[in-house]
Amino acid sequence: METKTCTKCQETKTVDLFYKRSDHSAKYESQCKACKRAHDAARSALPEEKLKRSAYLKKLRSSPEYKAKEAAYKYVYDRIPENKEAKKIKQRIRRTNPQVIQQERLRGSVYAKENPEKFVMKTMKRKAAKLQRTPKWLNDGQLFEMEIIYKYCAALRSVGLDYEVDHIVPMQGKTVSGLHVPWNLQILTASENAAKGNRLW
Ligand SMILES: [Zn+2]
């Protein structure tokens, strides 16, 4: 086989270890595959390249064509039996394995800290839902009862216990929406809460 000397590492290698040039000239790159890959990786790790890439992807993903394609792909993907089965197994592992849930939550909270702008809407929506789902007819005793539940939970958290106040019927459920009332509140460990998800509703 024909050989060529890499301009970077100066090694002489067979041409199959060089990429073909993209200009269709049937010539090979001057750097060997290994050197070219290292060069490209270093370049794409530059902050300005990362920014460029994420701006490009953001623009691409926001187009209606892309969204339609993505939805169509997901529709097909979700109906392939192997994928359905894999999803079930994943969910089962998640439900029966508190560590997995804890890891997920940790990743989530790191992500939330790094991208606060993405969570402003979510927090606002949740606050609005709470207000909207709090019936006007609750009496002072019932409002106080809810306050106590939150305070009790905050006290548990302050000593390092990972508890959360959960709405038994979620306030923003897919089919039914629960009320923000004392009898719809329960205190769960964070992992129990995460495992619960919205699946019952
Ligand atoms: Zn080389």
**Ligand 1 centroid distance, CA of 54 (Å):** 30
**Ligand 1 centroid distance, CA of 82 (Å):** 42
pLDDT value of position 200: 53
pLDDT value of position 172: 79
**Ligand 1 centroid distance, CA of 10 (Å):** 6
**Ligand 1 centroid distance, CA of 9 (Å):** 4
Q: Which residues on neighbouring strands pair with residue 185, listed in sequence order?
A: 167
pLDDT value of position 26: 76
Enumerate residues 6+ apart whose C-beta is below 8 A from 32.
4, 6, 8, 9, 11, 13, 17, 18
pLDDT value of position 183: 93
pLDDT value of position 171: 84
**Ligand 1 centroid distance, CA of 21 (Å):** 15
**Ligand 1 centroid distance, CA of 6 (Å):** 5
Q: Which residues on neighbouring strands pair with residue 177, listed in sequence order?
A: none
Cα 156 off chain centre by? 28
pLDDT value of position 199: 55
Tens-digit pLDDT string for the chain (201 aa): 899 999 999 999 999 999 998 887 778 999 999 999 999 999 999 999 999 999 999 999 898 989 899 889 988 988 899 999 999 998 888 888 888 888 888 898 888 888 888 788 788 888 888 888 899 899 999 999 999 999 999 898 888 888 889 999 888 777 888 899 999 999 998 778 777 765 555
**Ligand 1 centroid distance, CA of 52 (Å):** 28
- Tell me the pTM: 0.44
Q: What tokens does 100 get?
A: 């997995």
